[in-house]
C-alpha cells in the first residue's frame, strides 16, 4: 500500500439512486440533500445528472422539509454575513422582477433614512427584466463592487448599500441557477424559492420583505402560482429565523412611466423628491412600511420622508459613498422615435412583457451576462391604461443609440397596446397590491 497516495473520498450516496427516488415521487432525506448539493458544488455530480434531478423536481415538486433542506444546504456551500456589530437593525427587500421595476432605488434610501441598515445585494438584468446595478451604473462614477470594509462602513454611516453580491454567497446556487436556465427548469417553485432565499438568508439580514409579482411582465404569470411561491419563501425565511413577509403585486402593465436604465434613475429621483408616477410611489411606500414595521418602526411616517427631503438626503449620501455624483447629468440617447395615437379614445391595454422586450431590443437589456447595456436606451410612456388620448398625441417614446434598433422594437409591440372607446373595459390586471402573506 502506498501511504503517500491520497485516499479517494468514499461517497455516501449514489446520485442515480437519488434521481430515481425523486423521479418516482419519493422524498429525499436531509443527509441526501446535503450530500447532493455538496457533491454538485465540488464537481462529483455532473451537470447532466443534476439536470435530471432538477427536471424530476420540476415535475414532482418537493415537500416543505425538502425545500428547507435544499435552501440550508445551498447556504452552507459558501460564506454568510453577520450584522450583529452594526448597532442598528437590518432589513432587506427582494423583488422577483418585472418591467419598469425600479423600486429598490427610492426604497433603500427611504428606509435607511430612519436609522435602519439596508444591505441590498442586487444583480444585473437578463432578458426583459431590468437589473438594479445596470440602472445605477447610469450615474457617472457610481460603482457596484465594494470591499467588505467599504460595505460595512457604509451601512454604519449612511445606512443603505446597493451593491453586487460577492462570489462567496451560496456558490451552489450560482452553479445550479446557470444549469436551470438551459434545461427548462427555471419555473420550478422549489428551485426558485430555495435560490432566492439561500442568498437572502446568507446575506444575514434580520428581516426581509418580498415583492412577488404576477402577470404579463412577471417571472410568474399566474397569480395563484405567485402566491404559492410567496408562501413557500415566507415559510423558508421564518424557518431560518428571518422575519419575512410578502406582498403580491401586479405586473400586467409596466411599473411607472420609464423602462430602461438612466430614465428609471431619473424617475426614482422624482419619487425621492416627493413626485413621480402614482404607482411607483404607492409601491415604494407600501414596501417601506413593511420593512420598517419588521424592525419595530411601525409608526414611521414614510410619506413625509419622501416629501420633506429626508429620503433624498439618504439617496445622495448612498450615491456619493459609492463614487457617484448625484448631481451629474444622466446619459442621453442619440436617437428617439415617438409613437402617437392613431385615434381619439381611451388606452385600454398596455401589456408589460412586450414593452420589456422592446426596451431590451433597444439596448436597455442584455441577451448574455457578458453583454453591455446602453444606459440611455429604453422607453418613456406618456399614457397608462385608463388615460384619455387624442389622435396624433404621443403614446410612448423609444430611445436608442442606433436607429436600426427601432424596427425590431416596434415588431415586439404589435398588439401590445390598444385604444378603445369611453366605457370599454380597461385591461390592467386589477389593483397594484393584490395580497399580503406573513
199 is an active site residue = yes
361 is an active site residue = no
Note the Cα 341 to chain centre separation in Å. Answer: 32
CA-to-CA distance for 169 and 171, rounded, in angstroms? 6
The cell numbers describing 358, all together, are 422592446
Annotated catalytic residue within 138, 195, 216, 226 = 195
DSSP assignment of 372-409 equals: ---TT-EEEES--TT-EE-TTSEEEEEEESSTTHHHHH
185, burial (CB in 10 Å: exposed 0-12, middle 13-18, buried 19+): buried
Annotated catalytic residue within 22, 124, 135, 199 = 199
CA-to-CA distance for 329 and 100, rounded, in angstroms? 21
94 is an active site residue = yes
Annotated catalytic residue within 22, 102, 124, 180 = 180
DSSP assignment of 186-255 equals: TT-HHHHHHHHHHHHHHHT-SEEEEEEEESTTSSB-SHHHHHHHHHHHHHHHHHTT-EEEEEEEE-SS-S
175 is an active site residue = no
Annotated catalytic residue within 92, 173, 279, 428 = 173
Q: What are the two backbone dihedrals, phi and then psi, of residue 168, each rounded to the nearest 5 degrees?
A: -85, -10
Alpha helices in 327-379 (DSSP H): 352-359
Residue among 362, 367, 355, 343 nearest 414 (CA): 355
297 is an active site residue = no
Annotated catalytic residue within 22, 68, 93, 94 = 94
Catalytically active residues are 94, 173, 180, 195, 199
Amino acid at each position: 500500500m502506498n501511504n503517500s497516495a491520497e485516499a479517494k473520498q468514499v461517497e455516501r450516496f449514489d446520485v442515480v439512486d437519488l434521481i430515481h427516488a425523486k423521479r418516482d415521487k419519493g422524498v429525499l432525506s436531509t443527509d441526501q440533500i446535503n450530500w447532493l448539493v455538496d457533491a454538485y458544488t465540488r464537481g462529483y455530480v455532473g451537470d447532466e445528472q443534476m439536470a435530471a434531478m432538477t427536471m424530476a423536481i420540476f415535475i414532482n415538486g418537493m415537500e416543505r422539509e425538502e425545500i428547507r433542506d435544499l435552501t440550508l444546504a445551498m447556504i452552507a456551500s459558501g460564506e454568510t454575513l453577520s450584522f450583529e456589530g452594526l448597532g442598528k437593525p437590518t432589513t432587506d427587500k427582494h423583488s422577483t422582477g418585472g418591467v419598469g421595476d425600479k423600486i429598490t432605488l427610492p426604497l433603500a434610501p427611504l428606509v435607511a433614512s430612519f436609522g435602519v441598515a439596508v444591505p441590498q445585494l442586487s444583480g444585473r438584468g437578463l432578458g426583459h427584466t431590468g437589473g438594479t446595478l445596470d440602472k445605477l451604473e447610469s450615474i457617472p462614477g457610481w460603482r457596484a463592487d465594494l470591499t467588505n470594509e467599504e460595505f460595512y462602513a457604509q451601512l454604519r454611516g449612511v445606512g443603505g448599500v446597493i451593491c453586487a453580491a460577492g462570489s462567496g454567497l451560496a456558490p451552489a446556487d450560482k452553479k445550479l441557477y446557470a444549469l436551470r436556465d438551459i434545461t427548462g427548469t427555471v419555473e420550478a417553485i422549489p428551485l426558485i424559492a430555495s435560490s432566492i432565499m439561500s442568498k437572502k438568508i446568507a446575506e444575514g439580514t434580520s428581516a426581509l420583505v418580498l415583492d412577488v409579482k404576477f402577470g404579463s411582465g412577471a417571472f410568474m404569470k399566474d397569480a395563484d402560482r405567485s402566491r404559492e411561491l410567496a408562501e413557500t419563501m415566507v415559510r423558508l425565511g421564518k424557518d431560518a429565523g428571518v422575519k419575512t413577509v410578502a406582498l403580491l403585486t401586479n405586473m400586467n402593465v409596466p411599473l411607472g412611466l420609464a423602462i430602461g436604465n438612466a430614465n428609471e434613475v431619473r424617475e426614482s429621483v422624482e419619487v425621492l423628491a416627493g413626485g413621480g408616477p402614482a404607482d411607483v410611489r404607492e409601491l415604494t411606500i407600501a414596501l417601506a412600511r413593511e420593512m420598517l414595521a419588521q424592525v419595530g418602526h411601525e409608526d414611521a411616517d414614510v410619506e413625509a420622508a419622501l416629501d420633506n427631503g429626508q429620503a433624498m438626503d439618504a439617496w445622495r449620501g448612498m450615491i456619493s459613498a459609492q463614487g457617484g455624483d448625484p448631481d451629474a447629468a444622466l446619459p442621453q440617447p442619440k436617437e428617439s422615435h415617438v409613437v402617437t395615437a392613431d385615434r381619439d379614445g381611451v388606452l385600454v391595454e398596455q401589456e408589460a412583457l412586450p414593452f420589456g422586450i422592446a426596451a431590451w431590443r433597444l439596448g436597455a437589456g442584455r441577451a448574455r451576462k457578458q453583454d453591455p447595456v446602453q444606459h440611455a436606451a429604453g422607453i418613456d410612456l406618456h399614457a397608462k391604461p385608463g388615460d384619455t388620448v387624442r389622435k396624433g398625441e404621443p403614446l410612448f417614446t423609444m430611445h436608442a443609440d442606433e436607429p436600426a434598433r427601432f424596427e425590431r422594437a416596434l415588431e415586439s409591440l404589435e398588439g401590445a397596446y390598444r385604444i378603445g372607446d369611453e366605457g370599454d373595459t380597461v385591461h390592467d390586471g386589477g389593483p397594484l397590491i393584490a395580497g399580503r402573506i406573513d
